[in-house]
Chains A and B, each alone.
Chain A
Amino acid sequence: MKRASFIRHSGKFAILPVDNIDTDQIIPSREMKTVGRTGLADGLFAGWRYLSADDRTPNPDFVLNDPERSGTTILVSGENFGCGSSREHAVWALFEYGIRVIIARSFGDIFFNNCLRNGILPIRLNSEDIDKIMALDRDTTLAIDLPEQTLRCDNSAMPFDISAYGKRLLAEGLDPIELTLRSFEQIRHFHREDETLRPWIYSSAH
């Protein structure tokens, strides 16, 4: 299956100045209502975005409810963004809402990998660069170039790191399963050899 690809992006940003934003905040479990990847945007940040769990009245204090932040496609946050539960629904909800880039000092590992598979670019930046972005005029457009691995804003360019594999997944919108199946003979060969070494892994219950 062809996935969403990511090459370049320019957009508005919003700041979530909190460390350790976990995937329970990004999409509370109660907002996961179907066995699927869609219908999740309404539940994004539900605990913060709405005044109460049952009532969908927007909380005016939440940054994404600020009319001036409408159309935000880039989130900027602190340390350990996306920690906690492995639920890929967090990434699906962010994408469906329109988020394409998340900039943070660090990320939860599973969340980071989930982003790469779903068209969202997670960018790790040092505290200094994050502080610079947080100090920018809120109307500044951030421009991200994945092939060049740079983020541009307000006349400055910040380089960022990403693994070659992550970059390919995003830029080519590759289906990692198809990619791996190209090595299927190699995998089969490994299993055949391994079965003679560790037959108990391959035998059924007793």
Chain B
Amino acid sequence: MSSKPQTLFDKLWASHRIGSAGDGADLIAIDRILLHERTGGVALKMLAETGHAVHAPSRVFAIMDHIVSYRSDRAADDARSPGGEVFIRETRNMAQYAGIHLIDSNDSRQGIVHVIAPELGIAIPGASLVCPDSHTCSLGALGALAWGIGSSEAEHAMATGALRVNQPPQMRITIHGELPEGTGAKDLALHIIARHGASGGKRCAVEFAGSAVENLSVEERLTLCNLAVEFSAFTAIIRPDDKVFEYVKGRPFSPAQEHSHRAAKQWMALETDEHAEFDYELSIDASKVNPLVSWGTSPAQSSAINTPIPQKADSRALAYMGLEPGVHLAGLRIDGAFIGSCTNGRLSDLRSAAKILAGRKVASHVQAICVPGSQLVKRQAEAEGLDIIFKSAGFEWGAPGCAMCFYAGGVTFPPEARVISSTNRNFEGRQGPCVRTHLASPATVAASAVAGMISQSGSVMAEIDA
């Protein structure tokens, strides 16, 4: 029997499609639901207020990450913003009341939701996952159907085990060639967004494919998919391969030994068939990717470090950033540096920064902070001595959470401070009122922190080696 060739997304959709929900929407089964204290607590509260029970509490996970203090000696209720402890306490109480999994502030499994979902095997190939958080698209890196939703939809998913969704259009981005030395998944993602714009993803489910994607590690794929929402994608996905199957093995919520063979067999079929059709196709040459830094207030406003800001750059964004067309990004004096977040807070990110920081010092005028993405990342980094490297260089070494990725009130960098950051958003005020955020890879952040100005990792290494 011959059937129409299917995309990876078609297969994931079909395997979760309960039926038509009417009005052109489908009813899609949700396997696992993730919540955090910033937007998940309110979903639990609304659910309790309306008298609905959680349909399958064993498949719902509440995690503390957004508002928790990143001070290394934090207590369970300590928040990083004034009044923030109410989010932690209420989410904890509501999670206990609902009988769902709770991963509390100082739990050994705690961390940023999108970092720990893969670590704990909550995100696995073929699973459908939602979270009231836009960066849920990260989890598509494992071949999962995962997307960000609002709090009301989270409430809906908890009450019913399903969501009503209009099937999104589909886009394939084929990335061929090899990423040049000194560039990584963050540069690749910024390259795609800068080239095709903040709306370039056209609300599509975006499949990343091609040799350059196959060559990325699982952690790098998580970084690439993480930024899909900054590109206006519905979500991102990557065909799960041996690297992924190896990665998920033996994790607490991964398939148990007795199911692993059967799961692997199903997961092998999760790929786009030959001749399957997409609504849009883009092609990217990885060898053209440079280390990038954002200069504006949208991730799409990014350029290679060694190039000047475009003459036609958005004047409003430049005014906020205190910059002008023609100014070179390399050499811009910085006041702050942050390494962490669901984009770049994993072990490989910390390693790439530590390689540059080893034996070096952060410039004296730069306030530098590193916050590992999870307790596990932190333990692994400490076992390798990375914490010593960061601390000796002059970085503060924080406790896991979203930390400086977004400002929620309280202490932050001063207004007009120029901060280089391994995070995902350079929106106005994102890291504090009038703070000027420059997005970059962890290696670029580390090199810039040492130089005291925006610098390419290669140049910092070469200078010292010379």
Contacts and interface: CB of A to CB of B under 8 A. Distances in A.
Interface of A: 1, 18-20, 22, 24-25, 28-30, 32-37, 47, 52-53, 79-80, 83-89, 91, 106, 108-110, 113-114, 117-118, 163-165, 167-168, 176-177, 179-181, 183-184, 186-187, 190-191, 194, 197-206
Contacts of B298: 20
Contacts of B45: 35-36
Interface of B: 18-19, 21-25, 27, 29, 31-32, 38-39, 41-42, 45-46, 49-50, 52, 58-59, 81, 83, 86-87, 90-91, 124, 126-127, 132-134, 148-153, 155-156, 159-162, 164, 166, 168, 198-199, 203, 229-230, 232, 234, 252-256, 259, 263, 266, 298, 300, 316, 406-409, 425, 427-430, 433
A86 B133 contact: yes
Contacts of A30: 81, 407-409
Contacts of B203: 109
- Chain A to chain B: the 8 pairs with minimum beta-carbon distance, closest first: A200-B255, A164-B23, A165-B23, A30-B409, A114-B150, A53-B433, A88-B150, A86-B134
Given A35-B91, A83-B232, A110 B134 contact: yes
Given A181-B159, A197-B266, A205-B252, 18 more contacts: A25-B427, A32-B408, A35-B42, A37-B46, A80-B199, A88-B150, A164-B22, A165-B25, A165-B164, A183-B18, A183-B21, A190-B29, A200-B263, A201-B59, A203-B256, A203-B259, A205-B253, A206-B256
Given A24-B430, A28-B429, A113 B256 contact: no
B207 to A, nearest CB: 17
B148 A86 contact: yes
A194 B124 CA distance: 16
Nearest to A30: B409
B56 to A, nearest CB: 8
Contacts, number: 184
A34 B52 CA distance: 22
A199 B259 CA distance: 8
A84 B59 CA distance: 27
Contacts of B149: 86, 110, 113
B10 to A, nearest CB: 17
Given A47-B428, A106-B199, A187-B18, A113 B150 contact: yes
Contacts of B425: 22, 24, 84-85
B58 A204 contact: yes
B212 to A, nearest CB: 26
B204 to A, nearest CB: 10
A83 B198 contact: yes
Contact of B150 (A52, A79, A117, A198): A117
Contact of A84 (B18, B19, B134, B316): B134
A142 to B, nearest CB: 24
Nearest to A164: B23
B128 to A, nearest CB: 9
Nearest to A85: B134
Contact of B254 (A1, A34, A79, A200): A200
7 contacts: A85-B425, A106-B232, A167-B23, A183-B27, A201-B31, A205-B252, A205-B253
A186 B156 contact: no
A200 B168 CA distance: 27
A134 to B, nearest CB: 17
A148 to B, nearest CB: 18
Contacts of A190: 18-19, 29
B260 to A, nearest CB: 8
A80 B198 contact: yes
A205 B120 CA distance: 9
A88 B39 CA distance: 8
A25 B256 contact: no
Contacts of A52: 433
